[in-house]
A = this chain, B = another copy of it.
Amino acid sequence: MAILGLLFDVFGTLVDWRTSISRQARDILSPLGFSPSWDGFADAWRAEYQPALEPIRSGREPFRLLDEIHRRNLEKVLKDLGIGALDERTLDHLTLAWHRLDAWPDVREGLTRLRRNFRIAPCSNGNIALVVDLSRHNHWTWDAILGAEVAGDYKPKPSVYLRSAAALGCRPEETLMVAAHPLDLSAAAELGMKTAFIARPLEQGPDNPVRPAGIRFHWTADTLLELADQLGGDD
Number of chain A residues close to chain B: CB under 8 A: 20
Q: Choose from B119, B127, B136, B141 the contact partner of A132 (Cβ within 8 Å).
A: B119
Contacts of A132 in B (CB 8 A): 119, 143-144, 167-169
A103 interfacial contact with B, CB 8 Å: no
Please, how many angstroms separate the alpha-carbon atoms of A119 and B127 in the complex?
15
Tell me which residues from 58 to 107 in chain A have a Cβ below 8 Å from any Cβ of chain B: none
Name which of A129, A141, A168 has the most chain B CB atoms within 10 A of its CB: A129
Q: Mark A135-174, 1 if CB is under 8 A from B, else 0.
A: 1100001011110011000000000000000111100000
Q: Mark A194-227, 1 if CB is under 8 A from B, else 0.
A: 0000000000000000000000000000000000
Q: Which chain B residue lies CB-closest to A169?
A: B129
Please, how many angstroms separate the alpha-carbon atoms of A168 and B132 in the complex?
7
Q: What are 12 A-B interface contacts by the 8 Å CB criterion?
A: A128-B144, A128-B150, A128-B167, A129-B168, A132-B167, A132-B168, A132-B169, A136-B143, A143-B145, A145-B145, A149-B150, A150-B150
Other than the given A119-B132, A136-B143, 14 more pairs (CB < 8 A) read A127-B167, A128-B144, A128-B146, A129-B167, A129-B168, A129-B169, A132-B143, A132-B168, A132-B169, A133-B169, A144-B144, A145-B145, A149-B167, A150-B150
- Using a CB–CB cutoff of 8 Å, the interface residues on chain A facing chain B are 119, 127-129, 131-133, 135-136, 141, 143-146, 149-150, 166-169
Q: Which chain B residue lies CB-closest to A167?
A: B128
Q: Which chain B residue lies CB-closest to A150?
A: B150
Known A168-B128, A168-B129; judge A143-B135 contact (CB<8 A): yes
CB distance from A111 to the nearest CB of B (A): 12
Please, how many angstroms separate the alpha-carbon atoms of A202 and B144 in the complex?
29
CB distance from A136 to the nearest CB of B (A): 7
CB distance from A124 to the nearest CB of B (A): 12
Q: Which chain B residue lies CB-closest to A165?
A: B129
Q: Contact between B145 and A144 (Cβ–Cβ < 8 Å)?
A: yes
CB distance from A127 to the nearest CB of B (A): 8
